Amino acid sequence: MKALPVETDFIVVGAGIAGLRASVELASAGRVLCLAKREVTESNTQYAQGGIAAALSDDDEVSLHLDDTLKAGDGLCNAEAARILVEEGLARIEELIEWGTQFDRTGSKIAFAKEGAHSRSRVLHAHGDSTGREIGRSLYLKARELRPIEFREFEFTTEVLMRDGRVVGVRVLDADGQLRNIFASSVLLATGGLGQVYSETTNPQVATGDGVAMAYRAGAEISDMEFVQFHPTALFLKGAPRFLLSEALRGEGGYLRNLELQRFMHKYHEMGELAPRDVVARAIAHELEVTKRPDAAVYLDLTHLNAETVRKRFPTIYSTCMRYNVDITEELIPIRPAAHYAMGGVRTDLDGRTSIPGLFAAGEVACTGVHGANRLASNSLLEGLVYGARAARSMRDGMRAVPQQLAAAATTAQSNGNTGEAEKLIQKVQSIMWQHVAVVRDGKPLKQVIADLVGLQAQLPSSGDRRSHEAANILQTGLLIARSALAREESRGAHYRLDFPLKNDQKYRKHSVVRGNTIGFE
């Protein structure tokens, strides 16, 4: 296999929507090395079903999309970041269409779906419920046309490299198990989400919080980690993955029913099944808790909808559920909440700059404050596009000579460890996080969780194989979430504290910011 280059102009870690869009933008300025830890087709982007939001329909307005985004963010959005998102999103989507993305249409007109907490039908989708895959396909093809972009799969970035307070490259555990240093003018973290910190998640295996953990270790500021969105409706069947059942199913008129088969959402919110995600997730958690049955589920009911429409509009969901012998047009679907999306991450300005010169972040790994305390459905693909392009522009503008090579050739990774140990540790962390740092949190258990996670640090395997790196990243990211959740003594958006059930604007209408061992609100 061709060895990795020792230097390039720009390093993009991640080939989801943010990394791909950034790579396309950077190609005009120099050599781009885009790294993915597995296949390019394995990312959160690939699994995005519902769609991408933009005020492109005739009865919509950018200001309405902005209002909905700010409302969902529960007082904590960076309003300027949200304005940029909804305004620049229009051009970024037009561009996608120009580059070959096939959004679904009714006749010649783009079809727009309605999702929870959107005041208009504004969600563009592709192949019914495979929007992320279609966008990823077209962006990758576009990027492949551009010669200076080199894609490398199965290259695991373990650290960012620093010199004189600046990020100058990355260290990679390559496909052959060798550690290699690669130097560049700047590095973009586009490593996606962190759902794998939890035992119940809709995220694929790659979402282990690597970018946040790497940036934190390098000394970057990390923000709003307490805000993790739990998707209310993940398939809950023994032996099946927590496959996401898109919000769009409720947008099309799906009902939620409890164990007694009663609809319950109107008890919790005037928007019923279309209430914001955190409200729906907590309502389900409450309905489950009162059953006192650890294996209980609630149900998503589509049986009253036109079966043909459901099959056509949601082909992937239909066929996946059929694989587990659930015909969603005729049967109730057992569901539970699962960790889904990280609003927080590596703190950036509006151009993707982190607090460390030379280090940029975009997409789910970043925190521009655009989502505040809770993300509006279908705004995250949009964020990857808009802020991936913006981060790339600032990397381009700040381009400088590639630093001289700091370390010579590769060193061999010590793979003398036992991946089984890493696996066990990961499962322990995931289970602790799901039990105590998920939909509902409480001060006393949170303190215990932090002590337990700190204790587990001593058990981290020193082997240096990929899974051990992931174990360290999952543990680090879990600790950042737990510490931030303990520090925010109020309930807001996706963060709910039993011991502080109310919002406290005076003290906490601010972003949490972690710098090393300190945590503050700004």
Ligand X SMILES: Cc1cc2nc3c(=O)[nH]c(=O)nc-3n(C[C@H](O)[C@H](O)[C@H](O)COP(=O)(O)OP(=O)(O)OC[C@H]3O[C@@H](n4cnc5c(N)ncnc54)[C@H](O)[C@@H]3O)c2cc1C
- The residues binding ligand X (CB under 6 A) are 13-19, 35-38, 43-45, 47-52, 131-132, 156-157, 190-193, 202-203, 206-207, 210, 244, 341, 363-365, 378-381, 384
* In the complex, least distance from residue 371 CB atom to ligand X, rounded to whole angstroms: 10
Q: Could you tell me the sign of the dihedral formed by the alpha carbons of 42, 44, 47, 51, in that order?
A: negative
The CA distance from 222 to 433, in Å, is 19
Q: Which is nearer to ligand X, 210 or 278 (CB)?
A: 210
Q: Which is nearer to ligand X, 341 or 434 (CB)?
A: 341
Q: Which is nearer to ligand X, 44 or 512 (CB)?
A: 44
Helices of type H across 76-202: 79-98, 131-145
Marked catalytic residue, from 277, 441, 466, 492: 277
The CA distance from 146 to 494, in Å, is 40
Q: Which is nearer to ligand X, 35 or 425 (CB)?
A: 35
> What string of DSSP letters covers 458-510?
TT-----SHHHHHHHHHHHHHHHHHHHHHH--S-BTTB-BTTB-S--HHHHSS
CA 150 to each of CA 24, 30, 65: distance values in angstroms, whole numbers, following the listed order: 11, 11, 36
Of 355, 358, 8, the closest CA to residue 162 belongs to 358
Q: Which is nearer to ligand X, 136 or 445 (CB)?
A: 136
The CA distance from 439 to 180, in Å, is 40
* In the complex, least distance from residue 444 CB atom to ligand X, rounded to whole angstroms: 31
Spatial contact of 385 and 93, defined as CB atoms under 8 Å apart? yes
How far, in whole angstroms, is CA 360 from its chain's centroid? 17
Q: Are strands 411-412 and 186-189 parallel, antiparallel or unpaired?
A: unpaired
Q: Would residue 393 show up in a list of annotated catalytic residues for this protein?
A: no
Task: Enumerate the active-site residues.
Answer: 277
